[in-house]
Structure 1
Amino acid sequence: MYNAGRELAGSIVKEKLAACVNIVPENRLFLSALQINTDPEELLIIKTRQSLLPALTEHVNANHEYDVPEVIALPINGGSPQCPEWLNNSIRD
């Protein structure tokens, strides 16, 4: 997954679906066939606008190696006042 995560992040930024993608290495813990399993993977923190979420989700689904990649949107409730301007100037309309 490590190279796949970097490639997916690069394609997201190249397509201007996000201004920035942070790649965080992690271990996924999950239950399968009544057994706890762990796998190394990368968490992508993708910074974009709500209006691009459908296109971003479609891009992730089409380019991710998992059958059902996890896409979760979190609202921005505050932060630096310059961030929205930087974000809007870095992604597609």
Structure 2
Amino acid sequence: MFSVIYITAGNMDEARRIGKKLIEERLAACVNIFPISSIYRWKDNIEESTEFGMIVKTKTEKVKEIEKRVKQLHSYEVPCVLSFDVGEGSAEYLKWIGESVD
């Protein structure tokens, strides 16, 4: 089974550093990084910031390990790490994910 994990980072350097580590450690097959505008409540204040979203493609069995690793690498006190199961997808692409993740 496969999962997609959504993570946010405070800047491009942090997103690239985390993404590269996940690939190097064979926890993920691919990490997409893109700029986002975020509005959120933090410590009873409404905040607005530019962040970088990350979409991580992996095996479902790696989700908890990725969450743990992201918490070690991330600058945020409470990083966003949300996982979604992949119900269906291109058989060839899913095979590639399976071969790319240990």
- Report the TM-score, using the length of structure 1 for normalisation: 0.90
More relative contact order in 1 or in 2 (CA 8 Å, sep 6+)?
A: 2
Residues 64 and 33 (structure 1 numbering): CA distance in 2 closer, same or farther, change over 3 Å? closer
CA RMSD, Structure 1 to Structure 2 (Å):
1.3
Aligned twin of 1:30: 40
- How big is the shift at 1:89? 0.8
What is the aligned length?
92
Equivalent residue, structure 2, for 1:54? 64
Give percent identity, aligned residues only.
27
Unaligned runs of 5+ in 2: 1-10
Query: Which one of the candidate residues 73, 83, 87 is aligned to 2:83?
Result: 73
Instruction: Specify every segment of 5 or more residues in structure 1 that has no aligned partner in the other structure, as ranges.
Output: none
Q: Equivalents in 2 of 1:75, 1:44: separation in Å?
A: 16
TM-score (norm 2): 0.83
Tell me if 1:89 matches 2:99.
yes
